[in-house]
Structure formats: C-alpha cells, structure tokens
Amino acid sequence: MELTVLKTDGSKTARTVTLPDSIFGIVPSEHAVYMDVRSIRDNSHLGLHKVKARSEVRGGGKKPWRQKGRGGARAGTIRSGVWVGGGSIFGPVPHDYYTGINKKVKRLAQKSALTAKAAGNAVVVVEDFTFEKPKTRSMVSVMNKLSGGDKKVLLLTGSTDKNVYLSGRNLQKVTVKSVEDFSTYDIVNADVLVLQEKALSGLERLAK
C-alpha cells in the first residue's frame, strides 16, 4: 500500500511511502490479537484487592452462648462469616494476574492489528515533527488535522520525544508511543494510526 506523506497541517507533501506487505498486508489472526490483548489487560491488574477473613477480624474470642439447651443454632464465635460483622467467606485475596504469551504470537498480533488498520484506511503517515516546548493546544491542532475529526488517535514516533509525549499526555483521545514501545492494545483501541516517517523503519523489526 502506498501512502502520501502529510505535513502537520494536513496538506500533502511530494513524497510517498510504501507500507510493507510483510507488516501491513498479512493474513490477520484474530485469535492472536485476542490472546495478546487479554494478556496485556490481565497484566495491568495489580491484584491488590483484599478483604478480611474470619481469622483477621477483631473479637470473637469467647463462645457467644452455651452449646446446648437454648433451642437455637450452636455458635463458636461472633466473627463467623454468617454473622454481621464477621469475616468474609471466600473473599478476594491478593494474587497475580500474569498471563504469558509467546513472542511470535505477540508479533503476529501486532502485525494483524496493523493490517486491520491499513485495510480500514485508518493509517496516516506524517513527516517527522516536534515542538519547541510541550503544548497541548499544538498537539490538538495537529491531531485534528491529521485524523479528520474527534477520533481516538495513536501517534507512533520514531524515537522518544519528550515534548511530543508531554503535549499529548493530557489528551483523552490521543496516545503517544515510541515505535519501540507500543502494544497490540494501543493499535486496537485507536480509530486512527498516525505514523511519523522515522517510525516506519522501526516497524521493520516485526517482519523478522
């Protein structure tokens, strides 16, 4: 697929780039995308949820009443899970949500997601740019002109650019990532993929 390189104001330059079929034109694997996105989402959980069990709540050291003779159910502690104020039964405890995934599957998932974006004409290539200082308003102006409206945008830069990153950090619908640091979820979650020219060469690692 051949695309015209755009300027930051949305106008066309005289240059064109070719998106390699080995990355943007493969037979996509929806299952690989699903596995990678699930892994990313699972691994984002801290797993710190915790409630107190029966042995952790205060009180209950004395048997509430005698075992027999009252006509009611026997009870050994007021901190039983069936009592108000008692410990939780089978409540959540801290645990690891980690889900591993094969490197080849992850690479296939990323290429599948990129192929889907290319097939949907949702890929834009822009000339390399930066800002003299972080300015959110400048990023909003550039992204609106490149994406054509109020859409979720993933901007892939050729290298880590602090001013570009900080300019887009506060924008809810703009995600700025280095070409070495993006994930399948970033691509799937965006409506439009904006690539800086230098980012294209960084994507060649996926073709291996």
pLDDT tens-digit map of 25-72? 999 999 999 999 999 999 999 999 999 999 899 888 889 999 999 999
Give the pTM.
0.81
Strands 12-18 and 153-157: unpaired
Predicted pLDDT at 208: 67
What is the Cβ-side half-sphere exposure of residue 59, based on CA atoms within 13 angstroms? 11
Amino acid at 51: V
**Cβ atoms of 35 and 101 closer than 8 Å:** yes
Predicted pLDDT at 206: 81
Phi, psi of 20 (to 5 degrees): -65, 135
**What long-range pairs does 200-205 form, CB within 8 A, spacing at least 24?**
200/17, 200/19, 200/125, 201/158, 202/156, 202/158, 202/178, 203/20, 203/23, 203/114, 203/179, 204/20, 204/23
Q: Give the C-alpha separation, 126 to 118, whole Å.
A: 15
Q: How many CB atoms lie within 10 A of CB 198?
A: 14
Predicted pLDDT at 160: 84
Predicted pLDDT at 183: 94
Q: Which two tokens stand for residue 129?
A: 């740019």
Predicted pLDDT at 117: 95
**Cβ atoms of 182 and 83 closer than 8 Å:** no
List, for the chain, all residue ranges whose pLDDT scores fall below the cut of 70.
Answer: 208
Amino acid at 189: N
Q: Give the C-alpha separation, 1 to 52, whole Å.
A: 58
